[in-house]
Amino acid sequence: MNVDLARQLLADGLVDGAFLAVVAVSWSVIYSTTRVFHFAHALTFVLAAYGAAIAVGAGSGRWIGGLVAVAVGAVFGALCEIGLYRHLRRRGSTGFGMFLASMGLYIAGVNVLELAAGSKPRSMGRFGGGAIDVGGMRITTVDAVMMLAAALIVGAVILFERRSRWGRAMVAARSNPVMAMSVGVDIRMVYVASFALGSALLGLAAFYLTAKTSAQPSMGVPPVISGLVAMFLGGIGRTWGAVLGAIVLGLSQNLGGLWLPGHWQVIVSFVILFVVLLARPQGLVAPR
Amino acid sequence: MRATKSRRHGATSARTRLTAIGAVAALTLAACGGDDDEVDAPPPTAATTDAGTSDADTADPGTTDPGTTDASADATSTADGEQPADADDVAAVFAAAGYDWSDVDLSDVTITIGQLVPRSGDFTFLGDAMRAGAELAAEQIAAAGGPTIEFQAEDIGPGDPEMSTAGARALVADGVGVIQSSFGPATLAVVPIIEQSDALLFQTAGATADQLEVSEQLWMGRPTATDPFPALADYVAEATPEVTKAATMVWNEGSAIASAELITSRWTELGGELTLEELVDVGASDMGPSATRIIGSDAEVVFLVVFGGDTATAINALRDGGFEGDILGVDWNPGITEATGGGDAGFKYVTDAQDATLDDPFAQLYLSGYPEQTGVPIDVFSALFWDNTIHIADLAVRVLRAGGDPNDGAALIEALRADPSMPASSAGTPVGWDVTTKAQTIKPHGFYEIVDGVPTLTAIVQDGELMLGASLGDLE
């Protein structure tokens, strides 16, 4: 085995795991609370990325671009709940019906975006900063900052869920929505807040990926699907589970590169999900 | 109670079904991508695969720069040529270049050209460029007293063979006699359908070696991949003979893989070692693992066969991973300099040769006319469709001279076979075809290096030969 390669792939895996952790937590906040298979999460990702790229392209600073990505994500996520899922829920739509509607929204949205903004990649320019060498592992400054930010974000979400009134309401809605309503939790607002928070987190992830590459209409699906896999892998309903699932996924996708070509990453994800769910259907971290 | 529950359940099911049907309808509408089959004009949108926007102030005066036509500059005035002021001038330029159609009355002649191009998906920007180039040619042909040309464009998505097949069926059903296609697999897929008609099929962009001698009706609209790509290996062997280990990073797509094989074959023929062949998905946002594997393979040089924004993603992934060797590829656009933060300095690539300063009035019709018309710089794909549209117009005139129907594909093929050459192109050179393979010959490729964000022509590739230091002017 090439030890240097393994070491670098390990570092890459941790970077990817941190990125996927943010995406997986965003899924966890939405799916665990509302049980909506929100495929249009991928559209949120793309819109947030374009929001950031357009803002930076218009001359605003990059941090403003990051805020725009978060804002676009939060607003679009909340609108999805208010404008689509709430109505479907009221009309008795099944989970599958919501999934189809969500997929339709994604496809229509991406096509409209292409018509409006073109399919040409939009860059925010290259983020400088060079790279850091840690024990023979090379990590760019942008990636290092992202890992730190991901740790802070995940910590903040967990604190929010445990300490804040809204966070506890979300957790209650996950466990038993009827009981939560009976004790005065406004489920409708909790759902809106879940979509807004989860989508804002995804906006941050989209900002990072746009900084690394560029905004493109098709950029949303791969990371969002990987984040979904990570959430299932870790166990639905547990934020820590989503984080653990993301790190396992990031490491395995990258360390798989010791033997497999890089474009097999997605296949590795699903094989791991398949194997883990066979052995532990509840995911790596069992719900309470 | 049961009846009530049943009715409620039935109503809920009906609503669910309606929701599902609505979603499927939305999916279908979205997937159709809107207007596919109307005869229309392309929008003047961005084309990113250009051979360069350049600032004359920053260009090295000692080199030949492929593009001076910044949209903000006065596109009508170039170093050596100007756009003709009126139709008589355009006709004179066409005639002087060898496209003299004055002996034929073309006032009532209309030719319909079918197009199989991306109008949805990640490559829409390429399709827009292709259509814009063809549309410019049609306007100039009309101004030169040539036939009226109408286009019937069908969407092939991101080079999707199934969409291409559906588009080809529509074109054949409408009796279109000549078709411009793009993307290798998408073109190969339509050959059986084309063969059910008499249509002439030009593989106008994306030609690869596996399309040669496939059909009597499939002709290449650009120099085939057999010409330029091995020159990347030649360049490394010649310029840096101490480099012996190479890796490739290639789109996981048929045409790209075929092109990469040409490079790797030449590299190993030259005695080089191939350390890794890494495939990456089209539009992949994370090429980090592939870059790490390449670096781990101890490659000293990397050949990229990816296009558009993926070139920037690949360069970033390699440089982020600490790769310091040469990176060579097959495509570049100004957005790559922005997306890499200048990390594309020294990047070398080979593509169809373009030189916006070329002293050739006919070539200037495209080189100056395209930026003026669209507001974006020249690019390879619009140039290919510009050239090909003029070639089709000339073939149609030849058919008319022989008393035939200019919309008859068989007659067009016969005319091409009888004289497989065209007198001029946007590269300032004639164009020819090998009637056995249907490959396009003569038209050269350019080898460029990015210097300060500007592509600088460093060599010409013609007939598979790398000519370091040559320029398009040297070929005349």
Interface test with B, best of A10, A45, A119 (most B CBs within 10 A): A119
Q: What is the predicted pLDDT for the residue at B208?
A: 67
Q: Which of B47, B45, B129 is nearest to B335 (CA)?
A: B47
Q: Do A118 and B33 touch (CB under 8 A)?
A: no
Q: Does residue B429 register a pLDDT over 60?
A: yes
Q: Do A126 and B339 touch (CB under 8 A)?
A: yes
Q: What is the predicted pLDDT for the residue at B85?
A: 55
Placement of tokens 């009827």 in the chain: A178
Q: Return the percentage of chain B with pLDDT > 70, whole number.
A: 79
The alpha carbon of residue A55 is apart from the nearest alpha carbon of chain B, in Å, by 15
**Which pair of structure tokens corresponds to residue B114?**
């079918």
Give the model confidence (pLDDT) of B327-359 as tens digits. 999 888 777 888 888 889 999 998 877 778 888
Q: Which of B24, B467, B125, B116 is nearest to A117 (CA)?
A: B125
In chain B, whose CA is at the least distance from the CA of A93? B16
**Which pair of structure tokens corresponds to residue B390?**
């003029």
Name the residue with higher pLDDT: B21 or B157. B157
B468 bridge partner residues: B459
Q: What is the predicted pLDDT for the residue at B53?
A: 33
Across the interface, of A93, A131, A261, the residue whose CB is closest to B320 is A131
Q: Do B290 and A254 touch (CB under 8 A)?
A: no
Q: What is the predicted pLDDT for the residue at B68?
A: 34
Q: Which of B178, B240, B155, B143 is nearest to B391 (CA)?
A: B178
DSSP structural state of residue A91: T
The alpha carbon of residue A89 is apart from the nearest alpha carbon of chain B, in Å, by 10
Whole-angstrom distance, CA of residue A32 vs CA of residue A29: 6
Q: What is the predicted pLDDT for the residue at B40?
A: 32
**Which pair of structure tokens corresponds to residue A110?**
């991406």
Q: Does residue B95 register a pLDDT over 90?
A: yes
Q: What is the predicted pLDDT for the residue at B436?
A: 86
Q: What is the predicted pLDDT for the residue at A1?
A: 65
In chain B, whose CA is at the least distance from the CA of A258? B293
Placement of tokens 């279109």 in the chain: B176
Q: Do A121 and B312 touch (CB under 8 A)?
A: yes
Give the model confidence (pLDDT) of B109-152 as tens digits. 999 999 999 988 777 888 999 999 999 999 999 999 999 999 99
- Contact with chain B for residue A127, Cβ under 8 A: yes
Weakly modelled stretches of chain A, pLDDT under 70 = 1, 286-288
Residues of chain B contacting A127 with CB distance shorter than 8 Å: 341
The alpha carbon of residue B265 is apart from the nearest alpha carbon of chain A, in Å, by 20
Q: What is the predicted pLDDT for the residue at A204?
A: 95
Q: Which residues contact A139 (CB under 8 A, 6 or more apart)?
A: A11, A15, A131, A132, A147
Q: Does residue B35 register a pLDDT over 60?
A: no
Q: What's the whole-number mean pLDDT along residues B171-193?
A: 91
- Contact with chain B for residue A94, Cβ under 8 A: yes
Question: Which range (A120-134, B6-20, B373-387) has the least confidence?
Answer: B6-20
Q: What is the predicted pLDDT for the residue at B87?
A: 65
Q: Which of A42, A68, A33, A82 is nearest to A194 (CA)?
A: A33
| Cβ proximity of B149 and B396 under 8 Å | no
Confidence band for B82, pLDDT divided at 50, 70 and 90 = low
In chain A, whose CA is at the least distance from the CA of B29? A108
Q: Do A107 and B27 touch (CB under 8 A)?
A: yes
Whole-angstrom distance, CA of residue B156 vs CA of residue B162: 8
Q: Do B121 and A218 touch (CB under 8 A)?
A: yes
The alpha carbon of residue B266 is apart from the nearest alpha carbon of chain A, in Å, by 23
Residues of chain A contacting B280 with CB distance shorter than 8 Å: 262-263
List Cα–Cα distances, B160 to A26, A107, B259, B337, B352, in angstroms: 33, 17, 18, 29, 24
Give the model confidence (pLDDT) of B98-109 as tens digits. 999 999 999 899
DSSP string for A131-166: EEEETTEEEEHHHHHHHHHHHHHHHHHHHHHHHSHH
In chain A, whose CA is at the least distance from the CA of B291? A262
Q: Do B316 and A213 touch (CB under 8 A)?
A: yes
| Cβ proximity of B20 and A97 under 8 Å | yes
Q: Does residue B3 register a pLDDT over 60?
A: no
Q: What is the predicted pLDDT for the residue at A177?
A: 80
Give residue A209's identity as a one-letter amino acid code: L
Q: Do A94 and B30 touch (CB under 8 A)?
A: no
Residues of chain A contacting B287 with CB distance shorter than 8 Å: 262
- Contact with chain B for residue A108, Cβ under 8 A: yes
Confidence band for B402, pLDDT divided at 50, 70 and 90 = very high
